[in-house]
Amino acid sequence: MPTCLNCQQPIVEDAHFCHHCGAKVVRERLTLWGFFAQLGQTVFNTDSSVWRTLGHLCYAPGRVCRSYIEGIRKRYLRPVSYLFFVAGLYGLTILLSNGEIRYFHEDFALGFTSYDDATGLSEEERAKQLRPLALTFILLSIPILSLISRLVYRRAGFNLAEHLVINAYYMGQLLFLNLVLNFAKVLFPALEEHSVFYYLFMIVFLGYVWVLQVPTFQPRGIWAAISPILFLLIMLFMLGLFYGLGAELLLSGAG
């Protein structure tokens, strides 16, 4: 009697799935066509958790966060997986855009550094120095955001791990929304010339805090309006220190 390759339990000869662990019984050798067919089914399937997560995070992020925290895990992509998916998509567009698209953290970090120091590096050269560390900056900022949100929303009753989930989704969606705005900048260069792009990004960056946090943490009364502002002020201060000092340390050795 054949056995399941995953759990080593005996299975029926013509079974399509193992009745012990539920894994699909694979009898055919992997082919190049089969690989791309599975990839296409995963990415372009309209019922895929990737697109469901992305779409719901656009208009109902509180539902995504609370559902995942409450134990509904199959409906949405895991927060870290979603973050890496968007970051990978972002990295691909950077490679294809000849420098016209870059991570939002580069502009944020460069805003806290001086361009006329002894290194003699231009703004674009500084951005390129920071680019390989983009994902590291983003991942390290999630614990900072989680500590801030736990401080501001301590009455919500979420533990630190649950705040990490919320802020991983938040950072992943900020990456996606910034990617959309970057495409708009490429299609309409006048946006950048008139600083409209940066105003749009700040509106998205700051406004999404309300869209995500109020439904997720459900603050009451006037605290619903005050708490996101408090979170934003602390967040900008802490990330300013983190990105600014980190960028200065990294770039000082590059000059």
Confidence label for 222 from pLDDT (cuts 50, 70 and 90): very high
**pLDDT number for residue 36:** 58
**pLDDT number for residue 33:** 66
**pLDDT number for residue 69:** 93
CA neighbor of 180 nearest in space, from 197, 166, 167, 161: 197
**pLDDT number for residue 44:** 52
**pLDDT number for residue 135:** 75
Query: By mean pLDDT, which of 58-62, 136-140, 202-206 is the weakest?
Result: 202-206
Q: Which domain range does residue 137 map to?
A: 47-252
Task: Please indicate, yes or no, if residue 146 is contained in any of the structural domains.
Answer: yes
Task: Please indicate, yes or no, if residue 142 is contained in any of the structural domains.
Answer: yes
Reading phi first (left if > 0) and then psi (alpha if -120 to 50, else beta), residue 19 is in alpha
Task: Please indicate, yes or no, if residue 30 is contained in any of the structural domains.
Answer: no
Query: By mean pLDDT, which of 66-70, 76-80, 249-253 is the weakest?
Result: 249-253
Share of the chain above pLDDT 90, in %: 25
Residue 46 reports pLDDT greater than 50: no
Task: Please indicate, yes or no, if residue 154 is contained in any of the structural domains.
Answer: yes
Number of domains observed in the structure of the chain: 1
Confidence label for 47 from pLDDT (cuts 50, 70 and 90): low
- Mean pLDDT, the chain, rounded, equals 79
For 166-213, write each residue's pLDDT tens digit.
Answer: 999 999 998 888 888 777 777 777 766 666 767 777 787 788 899 999
Phi/psi at 24 (5° precision): -70, 135
For 88-114, write each residue's pLDDT tens digit.
Answer: 887 777 777 666 666 666 666 666 555
Task: Please indicate, yes or no, if residue 18 is contained in any of the structural domains.
Answer: no
**pLDDT number for residue 240:** 78
Task: Please indicate, yes or no, if residue 10 is contained in any of the structural domains.
Answer: no
**pLDDT number for residue 66:** 93
Residue 38 reports pLDDT greater than 70: no
Average pLDDT over residues 220-226: 92
Confidence label for 64 from pLDDT (cuts 50, 70 and 90): very high
For 116-127, write each residue's pLDDT tens digit.
Answer: 554 566 666 766
CA neighbor of 228 nearest in space, from 206, 255, 203: 206
**pLDDT number for residue 188:** 75
Residue 236 reports pLDDT greater than 60: yes
**pLDDT number for residue 175:** 86
For residues 204 and 68, the model is more confident at 68
Partners of 24 in beta bridges = 17
